[in-house]
Structure 1
């Protein structure tokens, strides 16, 4: 399969209008001067947000893909990505575009150029320098009618500028597959996964044979009411929420506020999805915060050595005053779900340590003390699929392929 991320647009190919029906997994498409910008939060939610971290995360198209049916043997996609630079930290890898044919990955490419966002790790302040459009070319595709998906990078804001092919392109619907709506932190967003279709939610969705809408927001699973309303208003057959690590990262809440905030978040979702299977997942194992509160801080000694790593900035003694650790969060989530499930038979709970627990940290430690690597994403995705989509699980149904 021939891929060329730096090719010049081929004038022999026929432009295909960027119909919103081609894009799946975004809650909204912003019409820009040059094309479409996928968003994973609607405009009303974005207007209520004041956090630049969430603004960046929701515009990174984790789980978003172009979907169409075609006989084309050549497809070109023009995009303008936004690359991130963290001064003093190792360079971030380029975002990956993956092309799938009839559900199977067959090619990948990266887009060079684009905008560059420089982010100060200590303050979160950023500045963006504009850059050029990149053309990605996927050639030598099979000359048969086929379903094509182009998964956009999970970790780069991606403006869609143009699509061209050597045969007509028809948007694909969802068919009869169930839609799984998931919300979580950077781990769900896909931080340090190998590519957009190998984040743990994407892997689990393929095994479970469901269509993923991923509202995992790096650093931003904070029980925001506008996020709850976005979940409430998004059509879905299955919903899961992975809650906890960002509440500790940011040192945002105390124990007194956590239970009511979780109740309110669930109440809002239930307004739009009163009987949809709803799974609450507590945090996976993260040794630095099991018994030590946040905030999570960059490890400056590691940065001086050219490594990105994090440390816990709190004091274990402060849990007596209500500051949150992962252990405290897990216990409170289990309590809230147990209380509610007495009247809500479609509400379920999963301890995140079933996905990645103490024994896993010895075999597959978190490289930066916070985020799983590619192998760990695979383990979490496979375990989630087994526990949740498998026989007897809360989302049990027909299974799909094993990636």
Structure 2
């Protein structure tokens, strides 16, 4: 335990110290980052999306300082699921000059206990927690604290033993990404190790991550958030949540995708725009949704998912991942004649059949930490590499 007596400087947490959030809500205890703006949140009635957008995947404090010690008071909201194994605490990543230097978790906080069978949610209040990072070099440096991707996090106070200033603008391009729980972070080793965060590092770009667990559902208010967010490069990974929620049929899916892309183009007419179809997910390749928890696995203390739809219903327009990939490829090909900066990437190029043998999805839906890195490396090559979809935008 560090018993050093520091002379602390309190620095208010303001928008100037935060990156990756689209909105900041002032609460009675501090500042709550949001990844959807207030207007979008006001139009949402889904508790899953409300939880997902308030979990700060990709959101980080970024400042320049000579401090050797940093304290951050936060109020996390953790999740527990009835009948499922306990979830690990969220992780905070401390990066110094872009290098992961420390990891920590906030003990305590508030808890949401969710019953997936009934949809009921029980809220239990709890106290804020303090994270302390010490032993940092006493020279000027860029410090980033990436917030947990899986815990709603109110920022209460920031203390250092030397003054801080907002991190300088390094002139990097801004990459805006939207996707499902895989993009959100699901089971990554930490917030700077989700596949979008790793890919952004490899590509040398600034990330705004609108990966929304269970909630990449072509909502018009999400499209408007993408439209209105300043960005140089944009990607949308679509399809998995539409299948595993059994939200719509092919007749609705096609115009919804067109409308989603039209709205983005209203705000970003010339930015490189990459449409990414679903990664391989064997349970839903040919079987429609919805997904459900595998009750037999819960009995042995494991969380696994299964597909509950009937493959025969594809004839009536029910969606599977194969159907969605074919349709997304067709839509992009149709539109690209008038939109040359619109691109398509088959998600199986990021995670396909051979990858599933070597790196199987532990719960049948979500990748583990090693697979996040694998997806990031594949995406960085496909998007930021030579002749990649984003190459001209990164170098423009």
TM over 0.5: yes
1:298 aligns with 2:293: yes
- Residue 391 of structure 1 corresponds to 386
Distance 2:298 2:235 in 1: 35
Distance 2:2 2:178 in 1: 36
For residue 282 of structure 1, report the CA deviation from its aligned partner.
0.1
- Residue 344 of structure 1 corresponds to 339
3-state SS, counterpart of residue 317 of structure 1: helix
Q: Where do 1:171-182 residues align within 5 Å?
A: 171-182=166-177
Q: Where do 1:115-264 residues align within 5 Å?
A: 115-264=110-259
Aligned to 1:320, which of 315, 318, 329? 315
Q: For each residue in 1:207-230, what CA deviation from the matched residue of structure 2 results, as whole angstroms up to 9, or x when unmatched?
A: 000000000000000000000000
Stretches of 4+ moved more than 3 A in 1?
6-11
Instruction: Tell which deviates more after alignment, 9-18 or 334-343.
Output: 9-18
- Residue 303 of structure 2 corresponds to 308
- Residue 270 of structure 1 corresponds to 265
Q: For each residue in 1:323-373, what CA deviation from the matched residue of structure 2 results, as whole angstroms up to 9, or x when unmatched?
A: 000000000000100000000011000000000001111111100000001
- Residue 40 of structure 2 corresponds to 45
CA contact (8 A) 1:20 1:29 kept: yes
Aligned to 2:348, which of 353, 358, 383? 353
CA contact (8 A) 2:177 2:209 kept: yes
3-state SS, counterpart of residue 356 of structure 1: coil
For residue 175 of structure 1, report the CA deviation from its aligned partner.
2.4
Q: Where do 1:85-96 residues align within 5 Å?
A: 85-96=80-91
3-state SS, counterpart of residue 205 of structure 1: helix
Q: For each residue in 1:186-227, what CA deviation from the matched residue of structure 2 results, as whole angstroms up to 9, or x when unmatched?
A: 000000111001100000000000000000000000000000
For residue 124 of structure 1, report the CA deviation from its aligned partner.
2.8
- Residue 60 of structure 2 corresponds to 65
For residue 138 of structure 1, report the CA deviation from its aligned partner.
0.5
CA contact (8 A) 1:391 1:397 kept: no
- How does the TM-score come out when normalised to structure 1? 0.96
CA contact (8 A) 2:362 2:368 kept: yes
Aligned to 1:77, which of 72, 76, 88? 72
CA contact (8 A) 1:390 1:397 kept: no
- Residue 326 of structure 2 corresponds to 331
Distance 1:398 1:249 in 2: 33
- Aligned residue pairs, count: 395
Aligned to 1:281, which of 261, 276, 283? 276
Q: For each residue in 1:3-38, what CA deviation from the matched residue of structure 2 results, as whole angstroms up to 9, or x when unmatched?
A: xxx989977311111121101000001001111000
Aligned to 1:12, which of 2, 7, 10? 7
Change (3 A) 1:72 1:253: same
CA contact (8 A) 1:208 1:398 kept: no
Aligned to 2:16, which of 15, 21, 40? 21
CA contact (8 A) 1:209 1:398 kept: no
Distance 1:173 1:287 in 2: 44
Unpaired runs of at least 5, structure 2: none
Aligned to 2:373, which of 367, 373, 378? 378
Q: For each residue in 1:297-323, what CA deviation from the matched residue of structure 2 results, as whole angstroms up to 9, or x when unmatched?
A: 110111111110000010000000000
CA contact (8 A) 2:232 2:393 kept: no
Unpaired runs of at least 5, structure 1: 1-5
Distance 1:101 1:194 in 2: 18
Distance 2:269 2:368 in 1: 36
CA contact (8 A) 1:7 1:135 kept: no
Aligned to 2:357, which of 362, 367, 371? 362
- How does the TM-score come out when normalised to structure 2? 0.97
Distance 1:285 1:237 in 2: 28
CA contact (8 A) 1:388 1:396 kept: yes
Q: For each residue in 1:17-70, what CA deviation from the matched residue of structure 2 results, as whole angstroms up to 9, or x when unmatched?
A: 112110100000100111100000001000000000000000000000000000
